[in-house]
Structure 1
Amino acid sequence: MRYNVVLFDADETLFDYTKAEAHALTSAFQEMKLECTPLLVDSYRRINQELWKAFEQGSITQQQLRTARFERLVAEHRLSEAIDAEAFSQAYIKYLGEGAFLIDGAAELCSQLQAGGQRMAIITNGIKEVQLSRIGRSELCDAFECIVVSEDAGSQKPHPAIFDFAFDKLGFPDRQEVLIVGDSLTSDIAGGSRYGIDTCWYNPGRKPNHSDVQPTYEIQRLEELVPILAGATHSQGNTSPSRA
């Protein structure tokens, strides 16, 4: 086995965050007695993405992010003054925690790896109560040796402290035997590269990489990870090693 430990990102790598977000937004808007229009959804997603980038860069805290996105949404669209951003946030987080939707192939991949004795962990910047709820409700609930959440680590990807925290929980494995798999170049891949571990960019949409961040591998389907872990990266034509 080429890699002893696989660190998986959660959202948009194993878990379908887009579907979970849609469920949470629709339900939270209904609870707030607001019509969930496409314009409001698009605005929320833009605001949310901007704030998560700020969190990733350390500009704001996760606690600030939780409410700020709804404060900005209410202000931007001049929604009813009766709308309480904190209550909106709490409703959204409650419903988001229900969204245990998986990316296609995630259950099969983790089952296969688990049966083969592969050590696996999750490393996520997501909100702890949401992530633990979603993972616990899913088919993957018992697949991971540990779940590393940025709130517990006191740091977030791409910063090294969260990787220090993860390695501590995993018994300090050899970095050459650890692979991180994720969909974010700026968070998962940049963080792993800086920490000195190999990286696998899950890129199902075949997005171009215009950044300076170069993953060790790039895959479009989760099943393509299997030969990488086995050390047979050239056995599948759709698996793209970025370096030897």
Structure 2
Amino acid sequence: MRYKNLIFDADHTLINYTADERDALKRIFEEIGLKFSDKMLDRCCYLSEFTWTETGLYDVKNERIQREYHNLYKTHLDLLFTRIFTEFPCSFSPIRAGELLLKYLKDGTNSISHAEETIKKLKTEKGYNIYIATNGLIDIQVGRLKRFAPYLDGLFISEELKEIKPNPLFFKKILERLNCTVKECLMIGDSLLSDIAGADGVGMDSCWFNPKSKENQSGTKPRYEIKDLTDLLQIL
């Protein structure tokens, strides 16, 4: 085996965050008695993406964002529901709605196609150590990743590491805990900025999960590129 440790990103690589968020929004609206439609949910998901961008959470190379990332995540939720309840009038507290979203995200069950079967085969048939490394909050991510627990050798969450991808310190802390070299690890993720550039920053090989065949304009070249997670079974 070229590698000993496979390190996967979570959201949009193994977990379908968009679908989980949509399901969580439905549960909130049902609970507070706010009528909704598919069109309204589409709008709410758009507002979530807009607010995420506006809050700076995509700008993960920015040192201020890296320092404040986890607090900004909660700020994003407050702004999101303030906007939602302005467009779709409701007296429910935006802060409380944000807390409910975090609660219901933990129950998410939407995986990326072939995620669980691929992880299982890489672990049980090919003998790799399987890890997940994700930017996020401990309480949410642990719950959402339970479906992969039987095959995981470890889970690294930015809130616990106190660093986020792509900061080299995030990856160095993982290497220290695994007591291994970069040559023994492969980072697999959908984000050129967080996953691929982050791995490249410490000299770690990477695999870009690119299901929509996006053009790579990042200036960072992964060692591998795949469209489907099952492609890993062929290249590893």
Q: Which band: TM-score by shorter chain?
A: 0.7 to 0.9
Structure 2 CA distance for partners of 1:8 and 1:50, relative to 1, 3 Å = farther
1:211 positional shift = 1.9
Q: Secondary structure at the match of 2:150?
A: coil
Give 1:123's aligned residue.
133
1:76 positional shift = 7.3
- One-letter amino acid matched to 1:53: Y
The CA distance in 2 between the partners of 1:39 and 1:106, in whole Å, is 28
Larger helix share, 1 or 2? 2
Aligned positions of 1:192-211 closer than 5 A:
192-211=199-218
Give 1:48's aligned residue.
52
Equivalent pair of 1:122/1:146 in contact (CA under 8 Å): yes
Q: Secondary structure at the match of 1:141?
A: helix
Query: Is residue 2:123 matched to residue 1:114?
Result: yes
Q: What is the root-mean-square deviation of aligned Cα atoms in Å?
A: 2.0
Equivalent pair of 1:67/1:86 in contact (CA under 8 Å): no
The CA distance in 1 between the partners of 2:16 and 2:205, in whole Å, is 24
Query: Is residue 2:71 matched to residue 1:67?
Result: no
State the Cα deviation string for residues 150-182 of structure 1 (Å, max 9, x = none). 0110000000111122112212x1211211000
The CA distance in 2 between the partners of 1:155 and 1:89, in whole Å, is 23
Structure 2 CA distance for partners of 1:99 and 1:72, relative to 1, 3 Å = closer
Give 2:167's aligned residue.
159
TM-score (norm 1): 0.85
Aligned positions of 1:85-164 closer than 5 A:
85-115=94-124, 116-136=126-146, 138=147, 140-164=148-172
- One-letter amino acid matched to 1:15: I
1:49 positional shift = 4.2
1:78 positional shift = 2.5
Identity %: 31
TM-score (norm 2): 0.87
Equivalent pair of 1:158/1:190 in contact (CA under 8 Å): yes
Larger deviation, residues 68-77 vs 108-117: 68-77
Give 2:2's aligned residue.
2
Equivalent pair of 1:202/1:220 in contact (CA under 8 Å): yes
State the Cα deviation string for residues 86-106 of structure 1 (Å, max 9, x = none). 201110011111002221111
Equivalent pair of 2:85/2:94 in contact (CA under 8 Å): no
Equivalent pair of 2:51/2:80 in contact (CA under 8 Å): yes
Gaps of 5+ in 2: none
Q: Secondary structure at the match of 2:208?
A: strand
Query: Is residue 2:43 matched to residue 1:39?
Result: yes
The CA distance in 1 between the partners of 2:17 and 2:161, in whole Å, is 22
Gaps of 5+ in 1: 230-244
Query: Is residue 2:9 matched to residue 1:14?
Result: no
State the Cα deviation string for residues 22-66 of structure 1 (Å, max 9, x = none). 111221233343344132332122212443214563423312322
